[in-house]
Amino acid sequence: MNAGKMVCTACSCLCDDIEIEMENGTITGIGNACRKGSAFLFGSQNEKQRAGYLAKGREVEVESALDAAARLLSGARRPLLFGLDNSTLEAQTLGIELARKLGGVLDDSSSFCHGRLVEDILAGMLPTCTHEQIHDADLIIYWGANPHNAQPRHLSRFSLYAHRKYHEAGVKRHVSLAVVDVRESETAGVAHHFFRVLPGEDRDFIAAVIEGIKGKPVGKDAAEFLGLLEKSRCCVIFAGLGLTYSLDNDFSLFYELIGHMGKWLKPAVIPMGGHYNARGFNHSLYNATGYVNKVSFAGGRVAHGDEFSLLEQVRSRAADCLLVVGADLFSALPASLAALLDGVPVITVDPFYTATAGASTGVLGAALSGLEAGGTAVRMDGTVVSLAPVKTPRHLSDEQILKRLLEKLG
């Protein structure tokens, strides 16, 4: 039976054309999703992989798991709430309220991913556009990004292949695709122009292009890249983690380049976040506090700084209790850093039984957003997308879990 269309929440593309076939409440067919999305949606039916309700490592009823989690949180002096990038905007609002009520620290993965770029976009310091505006572009650049693996349908739904003026063959090319990366990736393989930089050398490449703009002689790659920019009237740069890490989160030179480009073309930057609502978290927290991440609510005041990043909180062993919502820290962090969490009680809210859930004192299994729970989310380009579930959940949604925790904390 066709159960209708849903939004896939396996990545920040939030594809809204996913067709679901169901028999007796079980997904039997998925249409339009990529390998990543269909593995995620089919995987949600694998009971062995779903998180249940645990307290002190033992399976309990949902109410007991919520009580145990609330006790841990209320007893903590320096609680840290991390994640919410895979939660709806509604759940994020409650997560912010919970961190505020606890007087805790709140951070998400954007503090070591795209937070800086999104913050500058929200502050109006960095030009951006939506996917719908991509049709104005004559040059699309993926910089330190390989959507083939991270956002597999990005090219076909939102950029090159979705571009109104794109033709496989033609006398004149109206839109060009360029890739700047350390690896000749699959995306580089389909690009019209590929610029290979060595790890950590994006800064040198940007500096060379700026020198070229100023009329100085530069190397072959920088000159070719500059040639593309000079021919363009509208250029969209999809900025990936490769760029963030190569620049070590210092985008000043990149912004200088964007500033130069703005003198003869219309530049726009879209950060290629990974988690489905990472950008939404930045928007939610920015609206609530004026910051996109790394916030403390201790003493009833809002404070912001690097010391409130997850990485610093763990490194300095600052947190005495950790609530992780929709993130797998123990897989994603350097093992030497994750080891510092030894002895710190961790509560995990997640649809899946991740390595972090396995290391947690308390686990609260959640419904899968998009499939089993509704709400709204912000796509990587800033567009708000509504999620309408097509399957009856067996778990509470993360929004319901956070609401119940707030109620229990009084």
Partner 1 sequence: MKLIIVIYRDVFLWSEKYKKDRTDSWEDKAAFVRLAEQDLKALGISGDGKIKLSNSVGSIVVRALADSKGRSGYGFMPVSPLVNRLTSYGEGRLPNFKRIEVTAEATKENC
Report the interface residues with partner 1, using CB under 8 A. Answer: 34-36, 39-40, 42-46, 49, 112, 146, 148-150, 152, 182-185, 196, 198-200, 241-242, 244-246, 248-249, 306, 311-312, 315, 330-338, 355
Q: How far apart are CA 166 and CA 158, in angstroms?
A: 12
Whether the Cβ atoms of residue 12 and residue 279 lie closer than 8 Å to each other: yes
Select from 148-156, 171-179, 227-235, 338-346 the region that touches ligand SF4 (CB under 6 A): 148-156
Residue 202: CB minimum distance to partner 1, A: 10
Interacting partner of 153 out of partner 1, ligand SF4, none (Cβ under 5 to 8 A depending on kind) = ligand SF4
Interacting partner of 184 out of ligand SF4, partner 1, none (Cβ under 5 to 8 A depending on kind) = partner 1
Whether the Cβ atoms of residue 42 and residue 26 lie closer than 8 Å to each other: no
Interacting partner of 306 out of partner 1, ligand SF4, none (Cβ under 5 to 8 A depending on kind) = partner 1
Asked if 159 interacts with ligand SF4 (CB under 6 A), we say no
Taking CB under 6 A as the rule, which mask of x and - marks residues 13-32 in contact with ligand SF4?
A: xxx-----------------
Q: How many residues bind ligand SF4 (CB under 6 A)?
A: 13
In terms of CB distance, is 95 or 351 closer to partner 1? Answer: 351
Out of 33, 118, 295, 346, the only residue in the binding site for ligand SF4 (CB under 6 A) is 33
Asked if 152 interacts with ligand SF4 (CB under 6 A), we say yes
Looking at residue 67, its amino acid is D
* Nearest residue to ligand SF4 on Cβ basis: 37
Q: How far apart are CA 397 and CA 261, in angstroms?
A: 45
Q: Is 290 helix (H, G, I), strand (E, B) or coil?
A: coil
Q: Which of 129, 226, 228, 221 is nearest to 173 (CA)?
A: 228
Residue 373: CB minimum distance to ligand SF4, A: 16
Q: How far apart are CA 281 and CA 95, in angstroms?
A: 10
Interacting partner of 215 out of ligand SF4, partner 1, none (Cβ under 5 to 8 A depending on kind) = none
Residue 359: CB minimum distance to ligand SF4, A: 26
Asked if 34 interacts with ligand SF4 (CB under 6 A), we say yes
Look-up of token digits 């939660």: 87
Residue 338: CB minimum distance to ligand SF4, A: 26
Q: How many CB atoms lie within 10 A of CB 93?
A: 18
Q: Which of 231, 237, 304, 301 is nearest to 267 (CA)?
A: 237
Q: For residue 240, which phi and psi values (nearest 5 degrees)?
A: -100, 180
In the structure encoding, which two tokens stand for residue 64, read together? 């007991």
Asked if 11 interacts with ligand SF4 (CB under 6 A), we say yes
Residue 15: CB minimum distance to ligand SF4, A: 3
Residue 304: CB minimum distance to partner 1, A: 16
- How buried is 401 (Cβ within 10 angstroms: 0-12 exposed, 13-18 middle, 19+ buried)? buried
- Own/partner contacts of 338-347, CB < 8 Å, gap of 24 or more, are 338/314, 340/314, 340/315, 341/314, 344/317, 344/319, 344/320, 345/72, 345/76, 345/320, 345/321, 346/321, 346/322, 347/69, 347/72, 347/73, 347/321, 347/322, 347/323
Which residues of the shown chain bind ligand SF4 in the complex (CB under 6 A)?
8, 10-11, 13-15, 33-34, 36-37, 151-153
